[in-house]
């Protein structure tokens, strides 16, 4: 054996010496060419087999891709803290995932049978036979949190690691949204109901205008709904209707208490995802309860009224000192606590009949409270966004009430197009404004004349314009700041992935040198201050001696 290394090997290993050392190298040229041909054919066959193997691997990739494509999908119906509830329809579980689901149930049933847990066996059999939707308690994977991708109520998500027996899972990814609202935070809505009350709390033009502008900016179709019409006269209701028509809105007048206009509104919700938005105390949760459980609530009120009438009859037969009938008259007169579950407080705004209370306790009622007795304003009973299923089909989202929506992300051009008065004036005019950047605030040659505006409405536009302009200036000053994410190359052609980025220098410690210099500066300042005090004391002593 020869072991030749380095430059000496390159100089000493000549073709003649190779032939002398390896006899096979002295074979005829035809034999060597035949050998090369055999080697090349073997290499070709190896490449072909490897390509076949790669094709087989591609088939495996196709299978894994199909498994990923058939991964269970669901809709986020509520979010609290780090936990999200996701509803998965039975038809969304297919292929290997359906087999895995049945296997989990069968294994759990087998363990329950071995443990002689009869109730657990019956429960598992019922879950296996149930072909309806399943609600899972999920958490979002850490990667979504790292890249700042927030999961919203209404999102369609891809799930993994599902424990069907314990109804738990993990959100692996979020399907691209078709729409998104900032206030309230919800995704994939088809339409919105902007709910306000005509009275209790009173309707204010400033607050209503701000909500309308915020909803116009989302470009989601919405309907303005005015509730509690039973608290105003017909003339007052007609005045508000005419005023809003001048603004460019056809408001729906309803009464959740009496049911006026609710059926017409319910027909527009069928097979759609609808979000309810508006301030607190306007009746959003009461409207949802009426749409979902009208018959149960009505029966409870009727039974309570019958019991109250019997008590009044007994008092009339006696000494005539019976108490005044204070039984709840309308659905909105009931106080429901707990954000669901139908728990009713004891008191005048409740149902005392035990049978009716038990019937309501089985329903998923939304929390409801009356307006404040002193302030006349609504109370914050709804704490988070919840997506609820309707019997007619579709979903209805209950949202927390808030006072004034934010105008962040607006610019002056976008704000102007959120007012129907400006849009209609431009659309109905044969000419355009003289200036291309017209703000429609009394510029010469503006087609939006004073006759297009209600006086208070124009003042509100002027006020919002100044606020949006100030916000835009602040955003322009902060434009140079670094973003919170960065993009890095990933596997694949032109592929990138997004990662979270630490805030600039937020993770760095102060150096010892800087700390010492700062301490030295503080010490010198303190000494200088002491010297000044001593000089002042000497001057005071000299003055006293004189």
**pLDDT (tens digit per residue) in 357-392:** 666 766 777 777 666 655 555 555 667 788 888 888
528 φ, ψ to 5°?
-60, -40
- For 287, the 3-state DSSP assignment is helix
Beta-ladder partners of 386: 78, 398
Q: Given this model, what pLDDT does residue 38 score?
A: 40
139 in Cβ contact with 82 (< 8 Å): yes
pLDDT band (50, 70, 90) for residue 164: very high
Look at residue 91 and tell me whether its pLDDT is greater than 50.
Answer: yes
Q: 54 or 454, which is more confident?
A: 454
* pLDDT at residue 115 in the model: 92
Residue 424 corresponds to which tokens in the numbers above? 């209609």
Q: Is the pLDDT of residue 104 over 90?
A: yes
CB-based burial label for 332 (10 Å; 0-12, 13-18, 19+):
buried
pLDDT band at 455 (very low <50, low <70, confident <90, very high): confident
Which of 173-182, 199-208, 485-494 shows the lowest per-residue confidence on average (mean pLDDT)? 485-494
| pTM of this structure | 0.67
Q: Mean per-residue pLDDT for 488-496? A: 58
Q: What end-to-end distance do the CA atoms of the chain give, in Å? A: 114
Mean pLDDT of the chain: 76
Question: What average pLDDT does this structure show over 412-437?
Answer: 90
Structural domain boundaries in the chain: 14-64, 73-176, 190-316+326-398, 412-477
Tokens of 386: 């919840």
pLDDT-derived band at 69 (thresholds 50, 70, 90) equals low
| pLDDT at res. 335 | 65
Give the architecture-level CATH label for domain 73-176.
Beta Barrel (2.40)
% of the chain beyond a pLDDT of 90: 28
The better pLDDT of the pair 84, 537 is held by 84
pLDDT digits (tens, 9 = 90+) for 235-244: 999 999 999 9
Task: Look at residue 342 and tell me whether its pLDDT is greater than 90.
Answer: no
Q: Residue 127 pLDDT more than 70?
A: yes
- Residue 167 in this model has a pLDDT that exceeds 80: yes
Which of 93, 139, 103, 138 lies closest to 124, judged by CA?
103
Token readout for 64 is 């894994």
Q: Which CATH superfamily is domain 190-316+326-398 in?
A: P-loop containing nucleotide triphosphate hydrolases (3.40.50.300)
- From the options 3.30.160, 1.10.150, 1.10.238, 1.10.40, give the CATH code of 412-477: 1.10.40
Distance CA 225, CA 236 (A): 16
Residue 290 confidence (pLDDT) = 87
pLDDT at 163 over 80: yes
pLDDT at residue 329 in the model: 66
Quickly count helices (H) and strands (E) in the chain.
15, 17
Nearest to 161 by CA among 175, 142, 148: 142
Neighbours of 69 (CB within 10 A): 10
Beta strand 222-227 with 252-253 is parallel
pLDDT, position 353: 61
pLDDT reported for residue 93: 84
Peptide bond into 252 cis (omega under 30): no
Strand 191-197 and strand 222-227: pairing?
Answer: parallel
């Amino acid at each position: 054996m020869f072991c030749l290394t380095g430059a000496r090997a390159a100089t000493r290993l000549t073709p003649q010496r190779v032939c002398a050392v390896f006899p096979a190298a002295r074979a005829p040229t035809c034999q060597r060419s035949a050998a090369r041909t055999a080697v090349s054919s073997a290499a070709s066959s190896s490449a072909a087999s490897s390509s076949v193997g790669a094709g087989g691997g591609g088939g495996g990739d196709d299978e894994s891709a199909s498994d990923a494509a058939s991964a269970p999908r669901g809709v986020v119906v509520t979010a609290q803290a780090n936990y999200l509830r996701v509803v998965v329809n039975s038809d969304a579980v297919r292929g290997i995932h359906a087999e895995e689901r049945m296997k989990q149930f069968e294994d759990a049933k087998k363990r329950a049978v071995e443990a002689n847990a009869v109730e657990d066996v019956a429960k598992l059999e019922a879950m296996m036979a149930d072909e309806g939707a399943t609600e899972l308690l999920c958490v979002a994977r850490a990667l979504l949190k790292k890249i700042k991708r927030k999961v919203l109520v209404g999102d369609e998500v891809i799930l993994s690691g599902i424990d069907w027996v314990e109804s738990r899972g993990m959100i692996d990814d979020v399907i691209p949204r078709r729409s998104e609202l900032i206030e309230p935070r919800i995704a994939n809505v088809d339409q919105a109901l902007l709910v306000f009350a005509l009275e209790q709390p009173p309707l204010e033009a400033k607050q209503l205008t701000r909500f309308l502008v915020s909803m116009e900016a989302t470009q989601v179709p919405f309907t303005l709904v005015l509730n509690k019409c039973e608290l105003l006269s017909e003339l007052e209701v007609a005045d508000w209707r005419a005023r809003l028509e001048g603004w460019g809105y056809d408001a729906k007048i309803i009464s959740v208490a009496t049911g006026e206009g609710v059926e017409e509104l319910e027909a527009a919700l069928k097979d759609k995802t609808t979000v309810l938005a508006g301030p607190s105390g306007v009746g959003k949760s009461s409207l949802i309860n009426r749409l979902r459980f009208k018959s149960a609530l009505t029966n409870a009120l009727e039974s309570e009224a019958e019991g109250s009438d019997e008590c009044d009859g007994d008092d009339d037969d006696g000494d005539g000192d019976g108490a005044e009938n204070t039984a709840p008259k309308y659905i909105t007169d009931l106080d429901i606590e707990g954000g669901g579950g139908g728990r009713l407080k004891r008191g005048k705004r409740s149902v005392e009949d035990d049978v009716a209370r038990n019937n309501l306790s089985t329903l998923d009622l939304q929390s409801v409270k009356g307006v404040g007795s002193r302030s006349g304003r609504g109370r914050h009973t709804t704490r988070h966004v919840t997506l609820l299923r309707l019997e007619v089909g579709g979903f209805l989202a209950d949202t927390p009430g808030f006072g004034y929506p934010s105008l962040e992300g607006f610019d002056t051009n976008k704000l102007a197009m959120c007012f129907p008065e400006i849009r209609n004036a431009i659309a109905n005019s044969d000419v355009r404004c003289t200036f291309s950047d017209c703000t429609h605030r009394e510029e010469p040659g503006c087609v939006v004349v004073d006759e297009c505006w209600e006086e208070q409405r124009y003042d509100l536009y002027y006020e919002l314009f100044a606020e949006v302009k100030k916000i835009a200036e602040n955003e322009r000053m902060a434009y140079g700041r670094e973003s919170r994410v960065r993009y890095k190359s990933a596997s694949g052609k032109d592929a990138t992935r997004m990662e979270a980025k630490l805030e600039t220098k937020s993770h760095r410690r102060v150096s010892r040198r800087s700390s010492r210099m700062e301490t030295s500066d503080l010490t010198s300042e303190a000494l200088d201050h002491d010297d000044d005090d001593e000089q002042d004391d000497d001057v005071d002593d000299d003055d006293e001696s004189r």
